Structure 1
Amino acid sequence: MDQLELGKPEERRKPEKRVNGIFWIILLNIGIYVADHLFQVRGIKSLYLYHNWPAWYQFVTATFCHANWNHLSSNLFFLYIFGKLVEEEEGNFALWLSYILTGVGANLVSWLILPRNAVSVGASGAVFGLFTISVLVKMSWDWRKILEVLILGQFVIEKVMEAAQASTALSGTFRGGNSLQSVNHIAHLSGALVGVVLVWLLSRVPSQPPNGEVSNSHRKKDRTL
């Protein structure tokens, strides 16, 4: 009886997925912030996205830079939540790919829309992209999944509405010429939209059955022949 009771938890226990990618992304954001604002390392400012004359790599590197500690801490909070959800569902590579693509997409839209004197930094676009992806990949008819979507959904609806209102008054956002301290709602909205497009594109890719299933199906056909 004791052996059966001890054996049941081990048999039912599922292998845990190792979630490491999100912590490396967080450490990279913190490391660049420390080098920039605490040690004031020369060259870090060149990683910012300067809209007047941007270098190609700045569309990527700007997603790891932040204007101040409040900017960084708020992004890290949501980055951990949504990034962990994406990595648990889709894996480490999908997390990094989603972070880079949504962050670059958000910076690209910001560069196209915002004034030339603007400077874009922050992981906000990638955070909103990861949020959208985490919601879409969890959508199913399971009541637990639906509850998660509803809880997370109220957050994105509020932010999208703020972004829509901000996009109608961009000139007021950049008053005083201090564009770096402004909230880039365009990046929030575009990052979320890039996440939707990314999930849609991946859903169009046909999934191939595992090798075991293919071989088994061939064996069944051989037996019938």
Structure 2
Amino acid sequence: MFIRRESFSQYIRLYPVVAILLALNIAIYLITMLPFIGDKIYFAGMGVNAYIAAGEWWRLFTPMFLHLGIMHILFNMFCLFVFGPELEKIAGKTRFLTIYLLSGIFGNVAAYFLQDLNYSHVGASGAIFGIFGAFGALVYYTKKVLPELRQIILPIIAISVVMTFLQSNINVIAHIVGLIVGFLIGLSYFHPKRIISWRKKRR
């Protein structure tokens, strides 16, 4: 289910939303690596609570497309590359994008209200955890008919949550809130009738 065997062109054609998000994140990361202009773009978009409080509300959105270091973006984009396509196929393009963006935005909003004014952050992790949360909702509805999904997703969610608390410099609030938001949105999307339709398409 989560093993990608598509060619490059097939991947783009079958999962256009995931492909666009991957391209945007990678392109913006490369731009922020450029001398002079890169730092300006990075600091103009990072989530800084003090600046948000001063009225720069776009910083609740833009941190989702910024990353601090190569390992940061590699991990997030790997998760998006592997897990995003199946969710886009199940939920549909618009609903997948809704899960992704709302999970990331609400994670950033929570970090704004629950952290102090000096707190700053970047990364798509809240949105990535939203994908995990949506799969958690799918597991909730299909635990008896798709046991293999449960066996894959629940350990991934558990490990991801544990690692959130073990690593340093992690936006814990965005991770947990993104996971919860993705789960709640998934509960509204993945009703039994939609699951039955999805299973028929996979056969």
Residue 23 of structure 2 is matched in structure 1 by 27
- Paired AA for residue 102 in structure 1: S
Following the alignment from structure 2 to structure 1, what is the Cα–Cα distance between the partners of residues 68 and 36?
13
1:200 to partner: Cα distance: 3.0
- Paired AA for residue 24 in structure 2: L
Superimposed CA distance per residue, residues 120-144 of structure 1 (whole angstroms, 9 cap, x where no aligned partner): 11000000001111232354232xx
Following the alignment from structure 1 to structure 2, what is the Cα–Cα distance between the partners of residues 33 and 40?
14
Aligned partner of residue 72 in structure 2, secondary structure: helix
1:30 to partner: Cα distance: 0.5
Residue 133 of structure 1 is matched in structure 2 by 134
1:63 to partner: Cα distance: 0.4
Residue 173 of structure 2 is matched in structure 1 by 186
- Paired AA for residue 34 in structure 1: L
Return 146-155 or 187-196, whichever deviates more: 146-155
2:34 to 27, 35, 38: 38
> Is the CA contact 1:102–1:126 (under 8 Å) kept in the aligned structure 2?
yes
> Is the CA contact 1:59–1:107 (under 8 Å) kept in the aligned structure 2?
yes
1:53 to 51, 54, 77: 51
Following the alignment from structure 1 to structure 2, what is the Cα–Cα distance between the partners of residues 43 and 79?
23
Residue 201 of structure 2 is matched in structure 1 by none
Residue 10 of structure 2 is matched in structure 1 by none
Query: Which consecutive unaligned segments of at least 5 residues does structure 1 have?
Result: 1-16, 167-172, 174-181, 208-225
TM-score calculated relative to the size of structure 2: 0.76
> Is the CA contact 1:49–1:121 (under 8 Å) kept in the aligned structure 2?
yes
Query: What pairs with 1:159-178 in structure 2 (closer than 5 Å)?
Result: 159-163=160-164, 165=165
Superimposed CA distance per residue, residues 45-66 of structure 1 (whole angstroms, 9 cap, x where no aligned partner): 2111111121211111110101
Rg larger in structure: 1
Aligned partner of residue 118 in structure 2, secondary structure: coil
Following the alignment from structure 2 to structure 1, what is the Cα–Cα distance between the partners of residues 36 and 105?
25
Over the aligned positions, Cα root-mean-square deviation in angstroms equals 2.4
Residue 121 of structure 1 is matched in structure 2 by 122
